[in-house]
Amino acid sequence: MSREPGRWVDPAEDPFTDPLLRGRAPRTHFPPSGRDPRVAYRLVHDELLLDGVSRMNLATFCTTRTEPEVTHLLARSFDKNLVDKDEYPQTAELESRCVHMLADLWNAPDPASAVGTSTTGSSEAAMLGGLAAKWRWRKAREAAGKDTDRPNIVSGPVQVCWEKFARYFDVELRQVPMRGDRYLMTPEEMIVRCDERTIAVVATLGQTFTGLYEDVRALSGALDELADRAGLDIPMHVDAASGGFLAPFSAPGIDWDFRLPRVKSINASGHKFGLAPLGVGWALWRTPADLPEELVFNVNYLGGQLPTFNLNFSRPGGPVVAQYYTFLRLGRTGFAKVHEASYEAARHIAAEVAATGLFEPLFAGDPQHGIPAATWRALDATAGFSLFDLAEHLRTRGWLVPAYTLPPDRQDLAVQRVLARHGFSMDMADLLLDDLHHSLAALRRRPPSRPLRAEEVSTFDHDATPAKP
């Protein structure tokens, strides 16, 4: 028989006869006593059946497929606190190796001396890059005897983490809006927003709204010209949350990384196209001098001196261990093969969607210009249904295919997007397309009495705008 706090439980007892499963699950009050682990597991397991199937969630950028070896490594590492480098030195060593491997991948001048850190995701990594830029700018202003008020940062349409950074750390965000058919920041629009209080320009390698890459080389060249003309030496940070693990393998000829001297820092998400499980991002700096030493804390933790630069403290070591495994497992050639399969699926979907005659692709999975995604807009405003209706119809088959409006100045335009990740096979793409055609036929036969609008459906909040304070 098994032992459970407070009582003995007969192993032959059916868990569904337990009072916990014969009544209502605790919702607002802490349970007064414990339960047989089988009973507690069954309740939680069955409630999770109501979640969507993650691999059919074509909105998320996050890894939804892992190998059994990754699961085993996570199980062996769930109890390792990454911050405790004295107690778990080899886990810390694997983190360090990942930093140097990424510095090599992103063409740092000296990968062996590169500085960087793992984070809980690319949003935290982006904020660390922004903080370093603010500190460098402030130090330079103080050295020149100038005030350090009203810093700003310039970007195109960005993920919400940059709006959070600006609000939390008191920096003005000068965001280039979308206009007409221009969905990205251009050098001309960037330059007019730069001044002596600009701490950095953020270029996005893989915009979440459309999937497109901004032209980092062109933006850097415009800043070089500005420095020559006006003496404003403005650094760049590249938000490569998605593209940082795509471009090196699928479009290695693109100059976006530390090959451009103006790029001082890069953030990327290991749990997106880095193919690691959820819970790991990366922040790297071009040289040690680009990370202000004032931001690095030396903490006396459990008997050892610990240098740390993170917004979090305790973190699980498992995702970092899994990231290192993934680097070893795939290498450059393996990552290239995995991503090419994803791009093929994205291009196939884009072509079939365009062939319906109802939609116009905004991006069709070209690795030279963006991530493995297919994004489209509706052509016929009189079809009797909206992209939101189509998204809701596809949801009945289990597919999560987001429909959403673009950011301010183009909120009039609704788009729909499919993200092809590792594990989204061509067969799955065909199954999706079959269901899309069935959904279109059903909506034509029986259009809704009134097409759905964005505010009437569950929101696609990966890029949600934060509420006004």
| Nearest alpha carbon to residue 349 among 57, 53, 58, 61 | 58
Question: What average pLDDT does the segment 234-244 reach?
Answer: 98
Angle between helices 426-445 and 318-355 (to 10 degrees): 50
Average of per-residue pLDDT across 134-145: 98
pLDDT of 465: 44
The per-residue pLDDT for range 62-119, each reduced to its tens digit, is 999 999 999 999 999 999 999 888 889 899 999 999 999 999 999 999 999 999 999 9
Is a pLDDT exceeding 90 seen at residue 4?
no
The predicted model gives 230-257 an average pLDDT of: 98
Cα 337 to Cα 104, 290, 341, 344, distances in angstroms: 20, 34, 6, 11
Give the model's confidence band at 194: pLDDT under 50 very low, under 70 low, under 90 confident, else very high: very high
Strand-pairing partners, residue 212, are 370
pLDDT number for residue 381 = 76
387 or 3, which is more confident? 387
- No. of helices (H) and no. of strands (E), the chain: 12, 15
- pLDDT at position 6: 47
Burial class for 144, CB neighbours closer than 10 Å (0-12, 13-18, 19+): exposed
Supply the pLDDT for residue 35: 87
Label residue 453 by pLDDT band (50, 70, 90): confident
Q: pLDDT tens digits for 309-340? A: 888 888 999 999 999 999 999 999 999 999 99
Query: Does 304 or 90 have the greater pLDDT score?
Result: 90
Residue 303, pLDDT score: 55
Q: What pLDDT is stored for residue 307 in this prediction?
A: 67
Residue 8 pLDDT grade (very low, low, confident, very high; cuts 50, 70, 90): low
Domains of the chain, first to last: 2-51 (no CATH), 68-326 (3.40.640.10), 331-460 (3.90.1150.160)
